[in-house]
Amino acid sequence: MINLQVREGEVFGLLGPNGAGKTTLIKILCTLIFPSAGMARVNGYDVLKESKKVRESIGYVTTDERSFYWRLTGRQNLEFFANLHNYYSSQARERVSELLEIVNLENRADDPFLSYSAGMKQRLAIARGLINDPRVLFMDEPTRSLDPKAAQSARDFISSYIVREQEKTIFLSTHNLNEAEQLCNRIAILDEGKIKIAGSPQELKSGLGNDSTLSDVFSSYSGRKLEEEILPKPSFMKEMRHRQRGGLGAMRRRGM
């Protein structure tokens, strides 16, 4: 049973180990899957009865590279997704150009997506999530598998532009304790599909003593340590390099 409320304008973090239900919860709130029980509202809209209005008011940032078209350029990808948000022709081109400049990809906008680094792909994913100027932005482990420099750059962008300048409400899932403490106004610990505790980072730590850390809090309420997502195995990386050489055609031949 999950019972939580996210305040307008805050960055709300969801911490939990693999299999805790973080991505499932986000997909329910984004109307990508149906809840098995209960109810949920986003921006005041019921995720089941008013799913279209929910989707119109949210953005979704995921690290899943398969959600992009690898042979298309970054610009072409964004223009395609802009069309899905009812931006067309010159309006779509104008919005895409604006977003490419915001995420600092204007110089690589016309290169194919498959040539992008992990950090560039993630910046394009953030740009896609902002296309419709959403009130709420869902971010599912936005810095997963990024190197430390690229991850910090992404966090700085989230903090300085999305939060301070755009004043978006952000629902963020992460394995990174430093990221949660750096970005989030409040944090909930999710384990085995249940919210164990929620509060500001300082509130959670002070409940265990002056020298406590978020790691201590997580261990106390879940009975285990929170480990960050490990990088993909070499065999997986080999497969991805093969796909990059073949592009979407290679995926189709493999029956994907």
Q: What is the mean pLDDT of residues 200-211?
A: 89
Q: Which amino acid is at 51?
A: S
Domains of the chain with CATH codes? 1-57+136-225 (3.40.50.300), 69-133 (no CATH), 228-256 (no CATH)
Question: Please, what is the average pLDDT of the chain?
Answer: 87
Look at residue 230 and tell me whether its pLDDT is greater than 90. no
Structure tokens at 111: 């290169």
CB 15 within 8 A of CB 187: yes
Q: How many Å apart are CA 18 and CA 24, to the nearest integer? A: 11
Instruction: Work out the average pLDDT over 25-46.
Output: 94
What's the gap between Cα 31 and its chain centre? 15
Residue 51, pLDDT score: 96
pLDDT tens column, 79-125: 999 999 999 989 999 999 999 999 999 999 999 999 999 999 999 99
Q: What is the pLDDT of residue 226?
A: 61
- Residue 15 C-alpha from the chain's centroid: 13
pLDDT tens profile 133-152: 999 999 999 998 899 999 99
Residue 220: pLDDT above 90? no
Per-residue model confidence (pLDDT) at position 204: 93
